[in-house]
Structure 1
């Protein structure tokens, strides 16, 4: 594949120069076409050139980085956000399956993000839309999660997910419309949603949405029930922690 044509957008000259130097020294697959100090300048460059990838600062004066996408009906380029956002906002980036580099920029994270984008471009996958990310940033809770299924990313509403089921190196996601096999281990989803009070690991094989549980039974073995037919076991060592978790969230 030919080099990835990239644009750097950041209001700080020093930040643009530093990122350019890092890319030139450590990412030979990237060809930096230009850099821009604001969104309007970036739009002009994108309209005049074939840009495959934009390194985009989030917090800039006048218009923040997200405003870039308002100028295009369809996004034709990949984006790596460069941000000093809070922990919550970073979680929104992660669950939305959007690549980011946390400032101050580290070489390993830069190379990792570039490798992911390079893989997407090699496989001719569609660029990620920013709608899910912006929606998650505006919500008090993460609303949607980007799930790698097959060769693409499917965005799922967390309120529609019943539970995650371990399946070796994969995870079956059971939701209101059926189920899908994700190419990640269940621990990935447990870590991703560690701060989300809707989800709890009841068993080594099950990570469940407690808000959709129909019944919690202490008889015939500890278990939870969904839709009066899906019965999932709770590990005995998880019983006390599970009940405390439910009480903290005003469910028990």
Structure 2
């Protein structure tokens, strides 16, 4: 895997290079301190994965990631700023690393990157799902699902096509979903990670989630699921 490191701090680039050198599957094709230099390398070299800071010489790394989205390379944000995590995942970032880096987290991010690349190369078993809408079944793609919850002992699937239902317990429905795309936040809620728009701190170190396009919906992240949630979105 060919990697580009973009950070205006030399020490941060050197630290990442050192940690990444421990994985022999990786080739660092460049480390640069500006977005202009990054774009030059991207246009000239093959790049599979970019480690990208958020604030680079008064420029915004998230906006840069949006600009290069058509290049179809993986992006891992590596930054001291935790407030951009939701925006980063809306761009389908592979991971969100907070400084100071640890070897464990960096290598964990690389494993995520390889899994995502392998997933692109292999047909996904989760491409289409069928759920009930009253007396008919509706076919939906995973990315059309916003969240799931349990109401009156029935699994309710909220999608861009409307509200669908599934028979059986919530866990049975969860097993049909792509584990890389969905996360359980509460015993009665499952959320599409890419549809999270806001993360609001709540009581007892928990969170409330706001979903894209659903102004009046609040999804709880309960204490029993908080650690896994924070790991998945890069907050720890």
TM-score (norm 2): 0.58
Q: Which has the higher strand share?
A: 2
Match of 1:235 in 2: none
Counterparts of 1:107 and 1:67, CA distance in 2: 27
Secondary structure of 2:3's match? Answer: strand
Seen in structure 2, the aligned counterparts of structure 1 residues 107 and 63 have a Cα distance that, compared at 3 Å, is same
Residue 195, structure 1, aligned to residue 178, structure 2:
no
1:69-119 CA-to-partner distances (Å, cap 9, x unmatched) read 354461321011101123x43355467653121110011111111001111
Q: CA deviation at 1:59?
A: 1.3
Note closer, same or farther for the CA distance 1:112–1:197 as it changes in structure 2 (3 Å cut): closer
Unaligned 5+ segments in structure 2 are 129-140, 166-172, 192-198, 200-205, 219-236
Q: What does residue range 166-245 of structure 1 map to in structure 2 within 5 Å?
A: 174-176=157-159, 177=161, 178=164, 181-184=176-179, 188-190=183-185, 194-196=206-208, 211=216
RMSD: 3.9
Structure of greater relative contact order (alpha carbons < 8 Å, 6+ residues apart): 2
Q: Which residue of 1 aligns with 2:228?
A: none
Alpha carbons of structure 1 residues 42 and 154: separation in structure 2 relative to 1, 3 Å: farther
Residue aligning to 1:18: 15
Question: How many pairs align?
Answer: 169
Matched with 1:69 is 65
Q: What are the ranges of 5 or more consecutive residues in structure 1 without an aligned counterpart?
A: 127-147, 166-171, 200-208, 214-252
TM-score (norm 1): 0.54
Does the aligned pair in 2 maintain the 1:149–1:182 contact within 8 Å?
Answer: no
> What is the SS of the residue equivalent to 2:84?
helix
